[in-house]
Amino acid sequence: MTFLLPAVFPILDSSVVPRIDRAAWLGRLGRSLADAGIRLIEYRNKPDTDAQVLADALVLRAALPSGQVRLILDDRADVALAAGFDGVHVDSGDLPAAVARRLLGPEAVVGTSATSEELLLEAMASPVDYISFGPIFPTTTKQTSIEPIGLEGVRAYRKLAGRVAVLVAAAGITIETAPGILAAGANSVAVSAAIFQASDPVAEFRRWIELVS
């Protein structure tokens, strides 16, 4: 494995972003996270238009300096390119990983998801830097009909992937369960609600870094 991810992979979902003073809120959050030492964050906004996602992305890029923080955009490789993001996470229905790679370039971060062992093998054959898998435990942040795989599932994915793939465990992960997931074979844990639905997301991010990294 040559691509290194931080142990904590924060995902900011648009559902927590207020509709009023949106840009100011995103800017404050981004600057505070940069001060807290964040190195990578994904922005996920599925319901809004490309124009709104681009506006949000530009605010985040300005608040989270290039070269200091890697910014990943969910789904939309073209918007990621326009906003100066460092990469994209693509799934079924998005641009294929190979196309996203050509669009964003060889230095970009391109990730994808695998919700079965068969899909994991397919993802490993594509030009991606990391593969997200799960759900590990039940989650309310992202709708899915797939049954949680638990720690045994994490071990099974790591065994199938060998030491080649960079694996990001996702969904339902708490600060208490994260260490066991990493010990079972994940390189990183994706965290959304546990950080960004907290009363003080920046303080919660600091707590995760102290206890999990």
- DSSP letters, 79-118, are HHHHHT-SEEEE-TTS--HHHHHHHH-TTSEEEEEESSHH
Residue type, 69: V
The model's pLDDT over 78-110, given as tens digits with 9 standing for 90+, comes to 999 999 999 999 998 899 999 999 999 999 999
Instruction: Quote the domain boundaries for residue 15.
Output: 8-212
pLDDT at 143: 59
β-pair partners for 108: none
Answer whether residue 21 is part of any domain.
yes
The model's pLDDT over 59-86, given as tens digits with 9 standing for 90+, comes to 999 999 999 999 999 999 999 999 999 9
Answer whether residue 1 is part of any domain.
no
- pTM of the model as a whole: 0.94
Return the number of other C-beta atoms located less than 10 Å from residue 105's C-beta. 10
Answer whether residue 103 is part of any domain.
yes
Output the domain CATH number for residue 154.
Answer: 3.20.20.70
In whole angstroms, what is the distance from residue 173 CA to residue 136 CA?
7
DSSP label at residue 148: P
Cis? peptide before 135, omega within 30° of 0: yes
Domain count, the chain: 1
